[in-house]
Amino acid sequence: MIGHFSNYSQPMPTDSDDWRRQGQEQFLPPGTVFLRRDYRALDEHWEHDECQMCWAKFMDPQFSAGHAQFIAEHPDVLTVGLVTQVQERRLERWVCDPCFDDFAHEFGWVLSTA
């Protein structure tokens, strides 16, 4: 029986009808490089983002006292995640850890160690 569960550490494929599938492979194609990073607001008009898969909210606790309080009162709001490695911050796409874990292998995404 030893090793019976060993293959459970491998990525589990997501169902083809998983509700998070919305054609993201069009803008997150195979080979997309992601970095793990703290979320930081872009400017006063762009102070949060959503996971491209499940719409979980990312917010910057350093943006304002109000944001810090909101994050403290809503533990489901994320402050760290995976972001696409791009030249211009306005083009960044964010993905939460669970969605990255669920789709990275299938979509061919790459986690940078840089």
56-71, pLDDT tens digit by residue? Answer: 999 999 999 999 999 9
Q: What is the pLDDT of residue 105?
A: 95
Q: Are 26 and 101 a contacting pair, CB within 8 Å? A: no
User: What pLDDT is attached to residue 34?
Assistant: 97
Q: How far is CA 17 from CA 25, 49, 110, in A?
A: 15, 25, 23
As a whole number of angstroms, the distance between CA 7 and CA 104 comes to: 18
Residue 13's pLDDT is what? 64
Average pLDDT for 90-109:
95
Predicted pLDDT of residue 45: 86
The model's pLDDT over 4-61, given as tens digits with 9 standing for 90+, comes to: 433 444 455 678 888 999 989 899 999 999 999 999 998 888 899 999 999 999 999 9
pLDDT of res. 98: 97
Distance CA 52, CA 95 (A): 6
pLDDT > 70? residue 2: no
**pLDDT on residue 17:** 86
| Residue 84 in this model has a pLDDT that exceeds 50 | yes
Task: Give the integer Cα–Cα distance in Å for 44 and 88.
Answer: 17
Q: In whole angstroms, give the CA distance from residue 28 to residue 9.
A: 25
* Token duo for residue 10: 């491998």
pTM assigned to the model: 0.83
